[in-house]
Amino acid sequence: MRVAMISMHTSPLEQPGIGDAGGMNVYVRNVASHLASHGVEVDVFTRATRASQGEVVEVEPGFRVINCVAGPFEGLAKESLPTQLTAFTGSVIAFVRAEAARRSDVPETACTRTGAGIYDLIHTHYWLSGQVGWLLRDLWGVPLVHTAHTWAAVKNLGLADGDTPEPESRRICEQQIIDNADRIIVNTDEESAAITAAYDADPERLAIVAPGVDIERFTPGSDRATERARRELGIPLRAKVIAFIGRLQMLKGPHILLRAAAEVIRRHPGQNIRVVICGGPSGTGLERPDELHDLAAELGVTGYVRFLSPRPPEELVTVYQAADIIAVPSYNESFGLVALEAQASGTPVVAARVGGLPLTVTEGESGLLVDGHDPSVWAEALEKLVIDDDVRIAMGAAAPAHAAVYSWDVTVERMQAVYDRALGDGAAESSDRVPHGVPLH
């Protein structure tokens, strides 16, 4: 099987935690890698952002990243990317047309203007890619599978203070994708119910496939490993460490953690509490990149807070192991990969009861769930685990077993089953749906 995977707005090779790179990048890279290990050839098409990237990056056998030129390499905000959908689609078609001409295993008749015959299926990620995939699906006559990661209508129901609502134009584009994709992959039952209500999605075309976690990389650390991690990060060995890992924007709620932690620090000065915030500005956070530093100063806790730059997965495990608690105060989270990685690393989680987090975190066993985003309520939840060492340690010990239920191998096995169903009943229907004004020959 050959799959054209489209991730227009961000590359799976980008560092998560910087700009628009986050959980979706982790998801796409791991899915593509594990599909390749299962014998599926995957090309991930993304927008080129640097001249030095090269057009084709061979990540591993069966998994390539194709950097497509669409607009300037730098200085193009995510909000402006819709203006480059045509350029990006044209770049994809040009590459695939040339690929069809090069490959000896593609019938000569397939070497058309569109490059039809190269791929068996298209899998798109995020709404921008979904719009591209919708066109390519009809040009190539193959099924379209879409994973949204976030939905405008769902995000707008749980905005953080100061966040900008997603535009109606995005919601309309998502509705078009819902109406035209052969399969929609969602993370949880809750996401399935939410988009059925918000977009009138057909339940028959929805497939629930939970993301996974790299349980070989994210593992519990020994006491010695924790000490070494804290030394490397400049954290006192005897401190109680509460960490946040993710993009620094209002939607992810790092300001909620800071306010709550400041309250716990005031109540318990003898507990030697430290806060670690690991990530880079993103979204609304780009407008005020020093906002969290200023908030820490305003709260009088600058000396208790350590800000770390984003780290690749092989280094990020050190942050998880150095922490006593991982806080996930997001306003919207389709699944919660950070919460899963934390538990795999043996660290309990305090998370908002939103999106997929109630599934990701087993309340009372591997962590705590908090209703709402009131800093005083969050302070009470954090306080419970900071003060009660026995409960916190027991949750940390139980957490890896919960995370082990989710693996990328299980994820891709279920995803392949979705692909097979789409190929079985969607290809013929897809080939009949030709948009007006787009020639096939």
The predicted-structure confidence for 233-289, as pLDDT tens digits, reads as follows 889 999 999 999 998 988 899 999 999 999 999 999 989 999 999 998 876 656 677
pTM (2 decimals)? Answer: 0.87
- Examine the domain organization and report whether 193 and 321 are in the same domain: no
Does the annotation list 146 as a binding residue? no
Are 105 and 172 found together in one domain? yes
Residue 155 annotated as part of some ligand binding site: no
CATH number of the domain at 105, please.
Answer: 3.40.50.2000
pLDDT of residue 429: 55
**Residue 20 labelled as part of a binding site:** yes
Residue with tokens 């591209």: 132
CA angle 353, 357, 362 (to 5 degrees): 95
Q: Is 217 annotated as a binding residue?
A: no
217 falls within a domain:
no
Q: Is 17 annotated as a binding residue?
A: no
Q: Are residues 31 and 144 in the same domain?
A: yes
Same domain, 282 and 177: no
Task: List the one residue out of 249, 38, 25, 200 whose CA is nearest residue 125.
Answer: 25
Confidence of residue 334 (pLDDT cuts 50, 70, 90): confident
Tell me how far apart the alpha carbons of residues 263 and 267 are, in angstroms, rounded to a whole number.
6
Q: CB of 213 within 8 A of CB of 298?
A: no
Contact 396, 348 (CB under 8 A): yes
Domain count along the chain? 2
pLDDT bucket at 102, cuts 50 / 70 / 90: confident
Indicate if 154 and 289 belong to the same structural domain: no
Q: Check whether residue 38 and residue 167 sit in a common domain.
A: yes
The predicted pLDDT at position 283 comes to 65
Q: Are residues 398 and 416 in the same domain?
A: no
Please indicate if the annotation marks 332 as binding a ligand: no
Asked if residue 126 belongs to a known ligand binding site, the reply is: yes
* 222: Cα separation from own chain's centroid: 28
The confidence score (pLDDT) of residue 113 equals 61
| C-alpha span between 160 and 403 (Å, rounded) | 28
Tens of pLDDT, residue by residue over 77-96, are 888 899 999 999 999 999 99
pLDDT of res. 410: 92
| pLDDT recorded at residue 433 | 47
The CA–CA distances, whole Å, from 240 to 326, 353, 376 equal: 11, 24, 19
Q: What confidence score (pLDDT) does residue 321 get?
A: 94
Beta carbons of 251 and 330 less than 8 angstroms apart: yes
Asked whether residue 406 is marked as a ligand-binding residue, the answer is: no
Q: Is residue 65 part of a domain?
A: yes
Distance between CA atoms of residues 328 and 340, nearest Å: 11
CA distances from 124 to 4, 268, 375 (A): 8, 48, 37
Q: Are 395 and 385 in contact (CB under 8 A)?
A: yes
Confidence of residue 317 (pLDDT cuts 50, 70, 90): very high
CA dist., res. 143 & res. 136, Å (int): 10
Whether 22 has a binding-site annotation, put simply, is yes
pLDDT at 357 exceeding the cut of 70: yes
- Let me know how many helices (H) and strands (E) the chain has, helices first: 15, 14
Q: Residue 249's domain spans which residues?
A: 223-403
Residue 54 in any domain: the answer is yes
Q: What is the pLDDT of residue 435?
A: 43
Over pLDDT 70: what percentage of the chain? Answer: 93
Does 323 belong to an annotated binding site?
yes
Do 297 and 164 fall into the same domain? Answer: no
Domain presence at residue 439: no
Q: State yes or no: 311 annotated in a binding site.
A: yes
199 has binding-site annotation:
no
First to last CA, the chain: 25
25 annotated binding-site participant: yes
Residue 54, phi-psi category: left (phi > 0), alpha (psi -120 to 50), beta (remainder): left
Residue 50 lies in a domain: yes
Q: Is 438 among the domain residues?
A: no
pLDDT digits (tens, 9 = 90+) for 134-180: 999 999 999 999 999 999 999 898 887 778 899 999 999 999 999 99
227 and 162 share one domain: no
**Positive or negative CA dihedral for 98, 46, 79, 146?**
positive
> Is 347 annotated in some ligand binding site?
yes
Q: Is residue 90 a part of any domain in this protein?
A: yes
Are both 427 and 282 inside the same structural domain? no
24 is in an annotated binding site: yes
Q: Are 149 and 173 in contact (CB under 8 A)?
A: no
Was 321 annotated as part of a binding site? yes
User: Is residue 78 part of an annotated ligand binding site?
Assistant: yes
Residue 363 within any structural domain of the chain: yes
Q: Are 238 and 139 in a shared domain? A: no
* DSSP codes joined into one string, 310-343: ---HHHHHHHHHH-SEEEE--S--SS-HHHHHHH
Q: What is the pLDDT of residue 75?
A: 78
Q: Can you tell me the distance from the alpha carbon of 89 to that of 94, in angstroms, rounded to the nearest whole number?
A: 9
**Is the distance from CB of 269 to CB of 351 less than 8 angstroms?**
no
Confidence check: pLDDT of 42 > 90 = yes
| CA–CA separation, 172 and 152 (whole Å) | 9
For residue 194, is pLDDT > 60?
yes
CA distance 340 to 406: 8
| Confidence at residue 438, expressed as pLDDT on a 0 to 100 scale | 34
Of 20, 257, 276, nearest to 149 by C-alpha is: 20
The answer on 414 and 372 residing in a single domain is no
Instruction: Say whether 223 counts as a known binding-site residue.
Output: no
